[in-house]
Structure 1
Amino acid sequence: MSEDHIEITSEEDDLFEHYRIVADKGQSLIRLDKYLDLHVANASRTKIQNGIEAEAVKVNGLSTKASYKVKPFDVITLSLPQPPRDTEIIPENLTLDIIYEDPALLIVNKPVGMVVHPAFGNWTGTLINGLVYHFQQLPTGRNGEGRPGLVHRIDKDTSGLLVIAKTEFAMTFLAKQFADHTIERTYQALIWGEPKVEKGTITGNVGRSARDRRVMDVFPDGSQGKHAVTHYEVIKPLRYVSLVKCNLETGRTHQIRAHMKHIGHPIFNDGTYGGDKILRSNTGGGYKTMVESCFHLLPGQALHAKSLGFIHPLTKEWIQFDTELPPNFQAVVEKWENYLNYE
């Protein structure tokens, strides 16, 4: 029995895994790809070779080739996309806003209300159901076997940009960038109140609440949860609310929503984190009516994944995508601007 020490940790919303393997003292010389094939469960030889080519596999901190001979006490680290957990995804002819597509990937602008992938309570009508249908209609060059690869997610009631991998290599290459936190992700959010500091960084572990597993709590002492960092900047202060820009350094579940609540500025109309209550009250009689009309106009939390940048898997060049705020989101911002003008 091998004495290799293997650690596995899930990162970035559990869409891929980090492995750390220490070869035992009696390890005989063996090719790196063959060694990993023996030691990484549920990973095909193709997935391992793609990981090595994408430099998602390192030996003693350095990228190397598949032919490298593993030696005793070598420390091998790798990040690989997790295999899909759903046995069947039903293709559905859904309307998708695909703003860019090439042989390696596509960029989708997801609307509010659409779940990203099938799960309990949402087996149909998801983005992935629509993408599977979309790919079936394309000449993939692999007899229709191509399937979209989910590298990251955004919440059901958050709108905005997602990158979808079309090949195994692209998925591994992109997953490594998410793991290394080199993906540029900028969100815009309408939050309650005006932060005292116009530009700042929120650091605090994010983990599931003991009171309600559907909600994420912030643990600034690091006692629970996973390390999370959000950089924010106020774009437009509107006294009662503020339009802010948020850049994610990490990608935890509900990260921006939990972090904003933690600093006392929950996202507007976010029912999970207290943003659907009338806050920053005004004595004027029209204030309550104004807020309620905004709630009615904007379904879900006022959070939009506005821009996305990364190194392309094939060209190895930086590419950047941007989208406008959804019309109802923009309309709510304008209503607040008008309210201040006539207050």
Structure 2
Amino acid sequence: MSKILSNKTNLQVLYEDNHIIIVNKRAGDIVQGDKTGDKPLSDVVKEYISDKYNKPGNVYLGVVHRLDRPTTGIVIFARTSKVLPRLNALFASKDIHKTYWAIVKNEPPKTEDTLINWLKKNPKNNKSTAYPKEVKDSKKAILHYKLIRKLDHYYLVEVNLETGRHHQIRSQLSTIGCTIKGDLKYGFDRSNPDASIHLHARSISFEHPVKKELLYISAPPPKDAIWDACL
């Protein structure tokens, strides 16, 4: 993948307090370190916190969830070890509501629908295959989609996940002929110039685990002509 190097000067922070920090991830960034050895977004956020609050030594940051490398949008981090398990519990109990936007090639067969598949991950090619019925080592995947805009050559679909599986949105949308723009792995015919895909974690809402107030955070999509047409 054509990598966009992250640094704290261009980090887009959407929300922060003493307990959590929420950022808008760019395409090409990895949330947590992996075998590539590329600098992860978690390290960039640690540097940002260290500089802003003049914190010497190691800065604590808990990774709560991840987004695929070519995907953009909202990522939440825990700023304390006390809050991390609380955020994990919110995700586990599905008390965090996430909405995604996807730009797809073909018009969905229905204006809105619920997709139920069984996904099986192949670690060799890092891809999940969606099946209509349960197969060995598969996991049930449920999402709800709605067509929200027709563009000149594409369609904007809003997706809400009921489960969180590997490449779930990418795999399930491809099964109904709605491959996401730029997603070669799941059948789109050409890549985007920056190796991104047009899948964006658009918004998130949940009760703050400490303050007990409802948070709603929205992330602007990347600047390009197609995303701009959606706003």
Give TM-score scaled by structure 1 length: 0.60
Match for residue 321 of structure 1 among 195, 198, 217: 217
Aligned to 2:126: 214
Aligned to 1:332: 226
Distance 1:125 1:302 in 2: 23
2:44 alignment partner AA: G
Aligned to 2:70: 157
1:188 alignment partner AA: W
Distance 2:92 2:143 in 1: 16
- Partner of 1:319: helix, strand, or coil? strand
Correspondence list, 1:257-268, <5 A: 257-268=170-181
* Runs (5+) with no aligned partner, structure 2: 1-6
Distance 1:229 1:240 in 2: 27
- Partner of 2:10: helix, strand, or coil? coil
Aligned to 1:109: 24
Question: Which string of whole-angstrom CA distances, capped at 9 and with x for unpartnered residues, describes residues 48-73 of structure 1?
Answer: xxxxxxxxxxxxxxxxxxxxxxxxxx
1:225 alignment partner AA: S
Match for residue 126 of structure 1 among 21, 24, 40: 40
Correspondence list, 1:2-21, <5 A: none
1:332 alignment partner AA: I
Question: Which string of whole-angstrom CA distances, capped at 9 and with x for unpartnered residues, describes residues 96-122 of structure 1?
Answer: 11121100001101111111111011x
Distance 2:82 2:165 in 1: 24
Aligned to 1:252: 165
Correspondence list, 1:161-240, <5 A: 161-209=74-122, 212-223=124-135, 224-238=137-151, 240=153
Aligned to 2:3: none
1:305 corresponds to 2:201: yes
Aligned to 1:147: 60
Aligned partners of 1:95 and 1:130 also within 8 Å: no
The CA deviation at 1:242 is 1.0
Distance 2:184 2:9 in 1: 27
Q: Please identify the structure whose Cα radius of gyration is greater.
A: 1
The CA deviation at 1:225 is 2.1
The CA deviation at 1:134 is 2.4
Distance 2:162 2:49 in 1: 31
The CA deviation at 1:227 is 2.0
- Partner of 2:139: helix, strand, or coil? coil
The CA deviation at 1:217 is 0.9
The CA deviation at 1:332 is 2.2
Cα-Cα RMSD:
2.4
2:202 alignment partner AA: K
1:262 alignment partner AA: T
In the superposition, relative to structure 1, how do residues 301 and 137 fare at CA in structure 2: closer, same or farther (>3 Å)? same
Distance 1:160 1:225 in 2: 27
Aligned to 2:14: 99
Give TM-score scaled by structure 2 length: 0.87
2:226 alignment partner AA: V
* Runs (5+) with no aligned partner, structure 1: 1-91, 278-291, 337-343
Aligned partners of 1:311 and 1:319 also within 8 Å: yes
Aligned partners of 1:146 and 1:167 also within 8 Å: no
Q: Which has the higher helix share?
A: 1
